[in-house]
Amino acid sequence: MAAFDLLTSAEPLMKRYYDDRRVYSMAYRKRPLLGMIPKKTGVVGGSPFGNARGGYQVPLTLDDIAGESARFASARDARDGNSHIVWDMNRVKRYATYTIDGETVDAMTGVGSFISASQPLMDSAINQVSNSLAYMAYHDATGVRGQVASKTGNVLTLTAATSYLARTLSLKRTLVSSSDTGGSAAPDGESTGTKITAINLNPGGQATVTVASATNILVNDYLFALGDYTTSSDVANVCMDGLGSWGPAPADITSGDDFKGNDRSVWKEKMLMLHQTIPLQSTAGDGSFVRNIREALAELDANEGSADALFVSPQRWAQIESDLAAQARYEMMYPNQTMKEAKIGFKTISFESAGVRVYKDPFCPPNAGYALQLDTWEMFSIRRIPGPVSRDGNTYRRLEGADEVEARIGGYGNIACKAPGHNMVLNFATS
């Protein structure tokens, strides 16, 4: 029996087995924020080099033209070129690769053997990229996966504030470390790093990560997946601009801030997500936690925002359920028709009086919630992300210098917000 020709036969099979429904199911199921952010494909503008090399510009919709007056001459004099504030967006890259050795390729006799050998690897690659995208959707573009509170031998204990990030890592993943969140050379070396050998999430406590060698990792160092650290030679951050990029603490934004070509210190209420502190109540079920959230959403309304989604961690979801008790109203939401047909939806609790649906997201930081007006956001990309990365029309290609074939998935894109001030960060405080 003739051997299965992987290089010529795999592509139509990949398109059949990994159509939009399957990829959406794998990428977005149990990742509500990643699934709910509106997607915009076919965006060919934008680059790591910004406008100088074909940047993708997203206007700040809250910025009206200056040329308006009761007098025509005054309106004309004040128009100032009718310039709007625009975000000069860059694309970032994301990859996952795997190989199939030549013996396995030659042993393939048909569709069944191909699927048996390739599907677990492709599924794992899609899952890994999706986990990274779901993580990045909540954070800034630094790519930090944890901070070291202490170390004993090769066991790294993460700080309480970053322990939840351990769930975004996986065994055998290579980590690098640095004393800062970007700019200097990583102490472990960006080309080598050290592999993860064990992960202990330690629910209710601080997570630990065991690595092959922690010799060059210091207490207070930040941890990054290999390739995610932004060096001084990079023109822009190499990870996506998630909610953390668009909603830093206002106190952290000082004069001269440069974000996507703009100084956000001149108009924080419009150019940053709003912030509101929500006390965590010690008495479960007294309704005060939900009441405080409703009051925060009212503040957002006063800033012309109209949040339709609130993303919280499973811990805060449980607290909302407890406070609402019998008043909780559940429903399923589907981001688009394709996902609805594939039965990929997200369970929500409705704040009927506020017009907001609450989503439980395991990638959401445990002590923060995000009230979003979804139509102000877009995840833009050239093609669907994650998806195959190919230059010759084939997902699989021979690996030079090895008896293997290689597959690559990923994509090029970023997350943009047209009106940060129409969105709010809820900071849950213990006191």
Phi, psi (deg, nearest 5) at residue 300: -65, -40
pLDDT in tens, 6-64: 666 677 777 777 777 788 888 888 899 999 999 999 988 655 444 444 468 898 877 66
Cis bond upstream, residue 386 (ω within 30)? yes
Within 201-242, strands assigned E span 208-211, 222-225
Q: What is the pLDDT at residue 49?
A: 47
Average pLDDT (147-171) is 95
As beta bridge partners, residue 144 has 224
Strand 309-312 with 144-152, pairing:
unpaired
Average pLDDT (109-132) is 84
pLDDT in tens, 199-235: 999 988 899 999 999 998 999 999 999 999 998 888 7
Judged against a pLDDT cut of 90, whether residue 384 lies above it is answered with no
Q: Is 258 exposed, middle or buried (0-12, 13-18, 19+ CB in 10 A)?
A: exposed
Q: What is the pLDDT at residue 104?
A: 82
Q: How confident is the model at residue 189 (pLDDT cuts 50, 70, 90)?
A: low
Q: How confident is the model at residue 262 (pLDDT cuts 50, 70, 90)?
A: very high
Return mean pLDDT, the chain: 86
Task: Give the residue, 49 or 322, on which the prediction is more confident.
Answer: 322
| Contact between residue 120 and residue 17 where contact means Cβ atoms under 8 Å apart | no
Q: How confident is the model at residue 1 (pLDDT cuts 50, 70, 90)?
A: very low
Task: State the CB neighbour count (10 A cutoff) for residue 408.
Answer: 16
Q: How far apart are CA 350 and CA 129, in angstroms?
A: 30
pLDDT in tens, 226-238: 999 998 888 788 9
* DSSP letter, residue 282: S
As beta bridge partners, residue 275 has 425
Judged against a pLDDT cut of 70, whether residue 284 lies above it is answered with no
As beta bridge partners, residue 73 has none
142-235: what fold? Elongation Factor Tu (Ef-tu); domain 3 (2.40.30)
Strand 424-429 with 404-417, pairing:
unpaired
| Contact between residue 46 and residue 414 where contact means Cβ atoms under 8 Å apart | yes
Q: What is the pLDDT at residue 160?
A: 94
Q: How confident is the model at residue 379 (pLDDT cuts 50, 70, 90)?
A: very high
Average pLDDT (138-153) is 96
CA angle 192, 230, 33 (to 5 degrees): 105
Task: Give the residue, 250 or 48, on which the prediction is more confident.
Answer: 250
Average pLDDT (229-254) is 92
Q: What is the pLDDT at residue 250?
A: 95
Judged against a pLDDT cut of 70, whether residue 261 lies above it is answered with yes
Q: How confident is the model at residue 362 (pLDDT cuts 50, 70, 90)?
A: very high
Judged against a pLDDT cut of 60, whether residue 282 lies above it is answered with no
**Percentage of the residues of the chain whose pLDDT score is greater than 90:** 45
Query: Where do the structural domains in the chain lie, given as residue ranges?
Result: 1-65+84-138+240-431, 142-235
- The first and second tokens of residue 279, run together, are 């006390």
Phi, psi (deg, nearest 5) at residue 277: -85, 130
Residue in 354, 264, 250 with CA at minimum distance from that of residue 62: 264
Average pLDDT (259-280) is 93
Three-state DSSP state, 343: coil
1-65+84-138+240-431: what fold? phage-related protein like fold (3.90.1690)
The model's pTM = 0.90
